[in-house]
Amino acid sequence: MAVLDNIRVVLVEPIFGGNIGSVCRVINNNDITDLAIVKPRPTTDWDDARKLACNAKDQLDARKEFNTLAEAIADCTVVAATSARTGFYRDTAYTPREFSPIALESAKDHKIALVFGREDKGLHNEELALCTHIIQIPSSKRYTSLNLSHAVMLCCHELFTASETFQPSEEKADEAGSELRERMFATWREMMIKTEFTHEQKLEHMMMGLRRIFSRGKLTVPDVKILMGLAKQSIWVSNQWKKAEKHD
């Protein structure tokens, strides 16, 4: 199933080798084969990883390693973060079941990523900012904290089962990848500063608002070009204004 080949599971700074091994087995159980690890720790117990990978040791050996989350997802369109916490724009979360059709639709033609944070501290806000969707796994109010490999299992199982009945729909313009999207956000950030739209301390909050707005649907390459062009024009106008005032 080609769609499953386009799904990348990304673990950010995992602590326990056993969890990495378990994740290898889990993704193989669900016909997923693309595993990336961001900032692997020197203290990782790789023996434990091999033990828990069972018959998925090839998967462990085939893992890719990256220094930053941005690099690990550069070629991905949809990027979903799992988060147990709420607040700070985490309040528009999808369940794994709601998310699966969205993911499979994009995975038809593009790489997409499922991102899982550290066992103890999850993802940092700067990492969350790079993600287009937030997944919250339904769980008991009394004990919301899932083991890392169990969280991966639930997300991958939903994608696997949904892929069996998946009917792709027709698509026109090409979807924008993370790198292009981030260039656009950087331009918008510059526009906010140059137009003096907001105080420095409110800037990141505004940026998160914009990120959520633009992540509600797929952004195509032409969409991003319009949005980037608009911001560039405002930056240009701001520069003209400052030049003209100087001549005053």
Which of the stretches 35-43, 105-113, 121-129, 219-227 binds its own copies when contact is defined by CB under 8 A?
219-227
Of residues 122-181, which lie at the interface with its own copies (CB under 8 A)?
A: 136-140, 142-147, 149-150, 153-154, 157, 160-161, 164, 166, 168-172
Show the tokens assigned to 92: 């528009």
Among 125, 126, 186, 222, binds its own copies (CB under 8 A): 222
Q: What is the helix, strand, coil percentage profile of the chain, to 5?
A: 50, 15, 35
Least Å distance between CB 70 and its own copies? 23
Least Å distance between CB 20 and its own copies? 14
Instruction: Report if residue 77 touches its own copies, rule: CB under 8 A.
Output: no
How far is it, in rounded angstroms, from Cα 47 to Cα 53?
10
Instruction: Report if residue 196 touches its own copies, rule: CB under 8 A.
Output: yes
Show the tokens assigned to 127: 């990492």
Of residues 13-72, which lie at the interface with its own copies (CB under 8 A)?
A: 22, 25-26, 28-31, 52, 54-56
How far is it, in rounded angstroms, from Cα 177 to Cα 131?
11
**Beta carbons of 119 and 152 less than 8 angstroms apart:** no
Show the tokens assigned to 69: 């989350």
Residue 122 is given by DSSP the state: B
Among 15, 66, 102, 195, binds its own copies (CB under 8 A): 195
